[in-house]
Amino acid sequence: MNRPSHSKTPAAGGFPIAIGLTVGAVLGMTRGNALLWLLAGGLVGVGIAVVIWLVDRKN
């Protein structure tokens, strides 16, 4: 029996990480603590990427 090939392309989660890092860095520069905001933006971006991965994995 032929099984259908898995041709579904996975969703990309790198974009939210990049946007989170960029927004965090810009906010940090305006508020005087770039590293803290960069890390916060990165964590938010990674969190969104994990949610995208989990939803994509379920489908």
User: How many other C-beta atoms can be found within 10 angstroms of the C-beta atom of residue 20?
Assistant: 22
Q: What is the pLDDT of residues 11-53, one digit of tens each?
A: 788 999 999 999 999 999 999 999 999 999 999 999 999 999 9
14: nearest Cα among 57, 54, 53, 59: 53
More confident position, 1 or 49:
49
DSSP code for 36: H
> Rounded to whole angstroms, how far apart are CA atoms 31 and 29?
5
Q: What is the pLDDT of residue 8?
A: 75
